[in-house]
Amino acid sequence: MTTDGYTPISAYGLIGNLETAALVGADGSIDWCCLPYLQSPSVFGALLDVENGGHFRIQPAEPFESSQRYEARTNVLRTDFETDAGSARLTDFMPILSADPAAPFAQPWVFRKVECTDGRVPLDVDFRPRFDYARGRTTVESLNGEIVARGNGEHLSLSTDAALQTDGVSASGVDRLEAGDVRWHTVQYGQRKRPESVDPETLLARVREYWHNWTHDCRTVATGACPFEGPHHALVERSELVLKLLMHHRTGAIAAAPTTSLPELIGGTRNWDYRFSWIRDAAFTIQALNKLGHTRESRDYFDWCLDVIHTESETFQPFQPMFGLHGDTEITEETLDHLSGYRGSAPVRIGNAARNQLQLDVFGELVHALYETCQYGETITETSWETISDVVEYVCTLWDKRDAGMWEVRSDPEQFVHSKVMCWVALDRGIEIARAHDFDAPIGHWASVRSDVREAVIEQGFSDATNSFGRSFESPELLDAAALRIPLVGFLPIDDDRVQGTIDAIRDRLTTEEGLVYRYEGRDGIAGGEGAFLLCSFWLVDCLAMSGDLREAEALFETIVEYASPLGLFSEEVIPQTGELLGNYPQAFSHLGLINSVLYLQAGEEGVPKPDLDGVSSHPPSAT
């Protein structure tokens, strides 16, 4: 179950309240939770330092086996324990503050219900918070029937039915349960005591109702026929629920993941903070949400994107590729050297220096996101168009610059092929929107630049030696899985020989024996290797499905989903040979990739040569 005391990434479930989230291990331990917000310092951080990070563990005091599952169509997590003497069930959830205006609290709570379902089970309870990523001193004491932890100018309270002893830094004890016994353990941030009016069972019922009402209804989604109906429906539904947990209910922003510094290779240094929202995710997210029927969330997310890049200045101000979930722009990267890192993978990073990079592809993603909203009947305001028009104009001035690319390399900037393709997308979709809605725009100029971009990509980004589009103009002989997006965004049709050559080259040189795809060849400024990238693997599924190779596409899809955690969650990467999940978890990109791939497979089964995916994958190249 554990390696060097660390729980495998795949053995965690996620709960949350749309402001923050927590990872709960199959051993009953909350090993990651930042309070009060997702970007706040951790209070429980054993995920990144099992000895010093802090946890809240509830598990049998005797040898046990355990399993986890979510209650159907919810993010309520159950962990079932089996011992020789009996069985017990742990139910974890967080109330959705924004959905319950009658709730007598305004700060996040974690509720943990334990019930003995058979025989007798002594439970080891260990409450060990560590404020500010365990940087500061934390004290824990018993006060008026509550367990109160203080540190970093904050406090956390534990209301519990169990008799726990405190030693100044933790509260622990063995709670002996027999069949039928129920215990509630409630963690409250910034509040001293659970109000008498709060009934945990009532809150649990409300949380269940919230998730049931939010999860897409197959009878009403999209046009009335669920596009996800079929053998993969349950995976889509779980991905949908994961994405919702990563959405901030007030701003509409979506975090790339709820964690920081889970390594891309055990013992390596590729450890990044993903608790931010990337503009790059916009088009992927809007398509998935709309297809699932969540039009309000889709619009909220796009409005957030426009809000954070909007400027009152008469001169367009280039925007950074990622933002905090509250729209904050200061995301300074620093290392936490006092934490050992997951299984010794250091450094542990908070913040992300990529916010200072030029990443040209984000401009195309943003304009394409607006194009996506058009396909679902959203009205584009003049103000929105002015912002997008400024973005397109800006692309005209810098499309030929070197950048860090979508993979955010920390080596010297290059002329990345994918970045250029997405500049083409910005111009192409800008022209389409202007024409369709009769907006004022210099269409002739944009079309001319679009033609220049296209010519540059074809002449400098394609290698005759590899018969493939490459990583960059400087190194066209090196491969980049991002080139799989060339047909998906409509830069070239799927049956173009150069596209098919690119798919073949990537399958030959970037694909594992299992069929999973690595990101790219060449240096990126960071030492060490990484696992296969799940999103790239889903892109290959999409390309195969579009090519008509449906049997291969379905086989690869089935291979990929075999790497899901027992709860149906995906991290960023995986070691194909062992199935070990790597990188931040669960990862929005991976779950978005799954949802979109199901759409491609469904379209292929229905015999649609170019699935109607509203531009992300089937938009035909415009005349140049």
Closest CA to 532 of 554, 559, 553, 551: 559
Burial of 551 (C-beta count, 10 Å sphere; 0-12/13-18/19+)? exposed
Alpha carbons 527 and 75: distance in angstroms, whole number: 37
Are 253 and 197 in the same domain? no
Domain boundary among 209, 243, 278: 209
Determine the average pLDDT of the residues in 307-329.
80
Same domain as 258, residue 167: no
Question: Do 141 and 246 have their domain in common?
Answer: no
Residues 366 and 450 grouped into a single domain: yes
How much of the chain exceeds pLDDT 70, in percent? 92
Looking at the DSSP bridge assignments, the partners of residue 165 are 172
Give the model's pLDDT for residue 270: 96
Q: CATH number of the domain that 162 lies in?
A: 2.70.98.50
Q: By mean pLDDT, which of 48-62, 303-317, 443-457, 579-593 is the weakest?
A: 303-317
- The answer to whether residues 584 and 467 belong to one domain is yes
**Pairwise CA distance, residues 175 & 167, whole Å:** 17
User: Are 382 and 498 found together in one domain?
Assistant: yes
Q: How far apart are CA 279 and CA 470, in angstroms?
A: 24
Joined together, the tokens standing for residue 10 give 């795949």
Domain boundary among 145, 179, 209: 209
pLDDT band at 452 (very low <50, low <70, confident <90, very high): very high
Whether residue 102 has pLDDT greater than 90: no
What is the pLDDT averaged over residues 346-369?
95
299/168: higher pLDDT: 168
**Confidence label for 330 from pLDDT (cuts 50, 70 and 90):** confident
Mean pLDDT, the chain, integer: 92
CA 256 centroid distance within chain: 4
pLDDT given at position 159 = 93
Do 204 and 273 fall into the same domain?
no
The DSSP 8-state label assigned to residue 511 in this structure reads B
What pLDDT is attached to residue 109?
92
Q: How far is Cα 547 from Cα 500, in angstroms, rounded to an integer?
A: 8
**Is residue 623 in some structural domain?**
no
Residues 258 and 393 in one domain: yes
Q: Is the pLDDT of residue 132 over 50?
A: yes
Is there a domain that residue 620 lies in?
Answer: no
Q: Residue 428 maps to which CATH number?
A: 1.50.10.10
pLDDT at 100: 65
In a domain, 467, yes or no: yes
Tell me which residue has tokens 């209301």: 159
Question: Of the candidates 178, 187, 212, which has an alpha carbon nearest to the alpha carbon of residue 44?
Answer: 187
Q: Is residue 272 part of a domain?
A: yes
Residue 615 lies inside a defined structural domain of this protein: no
Window from 85-94, 118-127, 195-204 with minimum mean pLDDT: 195-204
Q: What is the pLDDT of residue 3?
A: 66
> Helix, strand or coil for residue 116?
strand
| Residue 430 · residue 392 · CB < 8 Å | yes
Tell me how far apart the alpha carbons of residues 23 and 13 are, in angstroms, rounded to a whole number. Answer: 6
Domain range spanning residue 417?
Answer: 215-605
User: For the sheet containing 580-582, what is the strand order?
Assistant: 532-533, 573-575, 580-582
- Give the position of tokens 């709309």: 290
Mean pLDDT throughout 549-570? 97
Return the pLDDT at 615: 39
Q: Is residue 614 part of a domain?
A: no
Whether 219 and 196 map to the same domain: the answer is: no
Q: Of all helices (H) and strands (E), which one includes residue 424?
A: helix 417-437
What length is written for the chain?
624
Closest CA to 182 of 149, 204, 209: 204
> Given this model, what pLDDT does residue 541 score?
98
Domain boundary among the residues 163, 186, 209 is at 209
pLDDT at 103: 60
Give yes or no for residue 617 having a pLDDT over 60: no
Structure confidence at residue 614 as a pLDDT band (50, 70, 90) = very low
pLDDT, mean of residues 437-445: 96
At residue 2 the predicted structure's pLDDT band, cuts being 50, 70 and 90, is low
Task: Return the minimum-mean-pLDDT range out of 62-71, 96-105, 233-242.
Answer: 96-105
- Of the pLDDT bands very low, low, confident and very high (cuts 50, 70, 90), residue 378 is confident
pLDDT at 619: 39
Residue 298 lies in a domain: yes
Quick check: is 139 in a domain? yes
Instruction: Indicate whether 420 pLDDT > 60.
Output: yes
Rounded to the nearest 10 degrees, the angle between the axes of helix 282-291 and helix 295-309 is 160
| Confidence at 265, pLDDT banded by 50, 70, 90 | very high
Cα 171 to Cα 158: distance, rounded to the nearest angstrom: 9
Query: Which amino acid, one-letter code, is at 186?
Result: T
Contact 86, 162 (CB under 8 A): no
State the total domains in the chain: 2
Section 245-272 average pLDDT: 94
**Residues 222, 198 share a domain:** no
The residue among 590 and 251 whose pLDDT is bigger is 590
Q: What is the mean pLDDT of residues 528-557?
A: 96
The residues pairing with 25 across neighbouring beta strands, listed in sequence order, are 12
Are residues 219 and 126 part of one domain? no
Residues 407 and 267 in one domain: yes
Alpha carbons 217 and 224: distance in angstroms, whole number: 9
Please report which confidence band the pLDDT of residue 616 belongs to, taking 50, 70 and 90 as the band edges: very low
